[in-house]
Amino acid sequence: MSSKPFISALGFNGLTKRYDLLLWTTFPERKIKKALIEQLQLKGNETLLDFGCGTGTLAIMIKEQYPTVNILGIDVDDNVISIAEHKIKTKGLNIPIKRFDGQNLSFAGHQQFDKIVSSFVFHHIPTALKRTLFAQLYRIIKPGGEFYVADFGKLKNFNTKVAFNFFRRVDGKDNTQINAEGLLPEFIKGGGFDDVQILSSYNTLFGTVDLIKATDKQATLRKIKFAKHQNGHFRMWATNLRDVVWNSIEERLEQRNKKFLICNPIMIFLFLSLMLMLLEISFTQ
């Protein structure tokens, strides 16, 4: 198709600047992205990665709804990155966009992100590279983190078969093969995620889009177990602290009681009265 090592947003470089308009007029982009954002269930303190962010629409939608999340966008295409940066600047948002080589996520820290999102990217990526990238994305997500993918899956509406086949020619047969066979969830699993589900599907003019959620259930369980373990430690520590505090209070009370017995004027009066009584008794005998 071209000498560049990736497929640009609309298959041809010259069309990139029309990407947003074309999507807006022919595709339920917002509906699918809104559904993805809803699934994220963000609290606002998360660190997110938008993998293959393109013109930045998804990252912008997330940041507008959750201004306190930290979201980083990455993409391979300088053209699309400059459109994203322009949109972000116009909206006065803070979303860094990083260009990377499309293959190597080594710039990202081990277990750096709470959640990773990716919309309409993996049908641009050759089968072998898909495997590598899913394994790398698994490495950079925190234990118990979530990975959301919106992308083309197995065709569910055969009225769109012709358009889907044309679209596959543009984006490359190999790049779209795994998607067309409905094997994307299996491939995501292959990266290390052990729980991968299709949450919903959308029939569009160009084919069926699946919204996929991937997590590492075992890692989530380990995280809960660790938290319980930590909680157990905390409880033990709190009990010890309580005992130490109580013991010292009791000691002090005891000492105070001794002082109380010795220094209290009533006690002195009673003591003297007793002494006098004893003296009187001894004198009268």
Ligand X SMILES: C[S@@+](CC[C@H](N)C(=O)[O-])C[C@H]1O[C@@H](n2cnc3c(N)ncnc32)[C@H](O)[C@@H]1O
Residues near ligand X (CB under 6 A) are 6-9, 52-55, 57-58, 75-77, 80, 102, 119-121, 124-125
Whichever of 64 and 280 has its CB closer to ligand X, that residue is 64
Both tokens of 176, joined, read 């779209």
Both tokens of 185, joined, read 């969830």
Whichever of 52 and 185 has its CB closer to ligand X, that residue is 52
From the CB of 134, what's the least distance to ligand X, in Å?
12
What's the one-letter identity of residue 6?
F
From the CB of 240, what's the least distance to ligand X, in Å?
52
Whichever of 29 and 46 has its CB closer to ligand X, that residue is 29
Residues in a beta bridge with 99? 75
Nearest to 58 by CA among 11, 97, 110: 97
Which residues have C-beta within 8 Å of that of residue 248, sequence separation ≥ 6? none
* Pure H helices in the chain: 19-26, 29-40, 57-65, 78-90, 127-140, 161-171, 173-180, 184-190, 217-263, 265-284
Q: Please give the C-alpha separations between residue 78 and each of 38, 123, 137, 154, 231, in angstroms, as whole numbers.
A: 29, 19, 22, 31, 48
| Other CB atoms within 10 A of residue 98 CB | 13
Whichever of 8 and 215 has its CB closer to ligand X, that residue is 8
Whichever of 101 and 243 has its CB closer to ligand X, that residue is 101
From the CB of 50, what's the least distance to ligand X, in Å?
7
Q: What value, to the nearest 5°, has the Cα angle with vertex 145 and ends 128 and 125?
A: 20
Name the closest residue to ligand X (Cβ). Answer: 54
From the CB of 197, what's the least distance to ligand X, in Å?
20
From the CB of 205, what's the least distance to ligand X, in Å?
14
Q: How far apart are CA 105 and CA 109, in angstroms?
A: 9
Nearest to 154 by CA among 214, 198, 213, 195: 198
From the CB of 124, what's the least distance to ligand X, in Å?
4
Whichever of 124 and 142 has its CB closer to ligand X, that residue is 124
Q: Sheet of 97-99: strands edge to edge? A: 97-99, 70-75, 47-51, 113-119, 141-152, 207-215, 195-204
| Residue owning tokens 């994307």 | 184
From the CB of 68, what's the least distance to ligand X, in Å?
22
Whichever of 97 and 219 has its CB closer to ligand X, that residue is 97
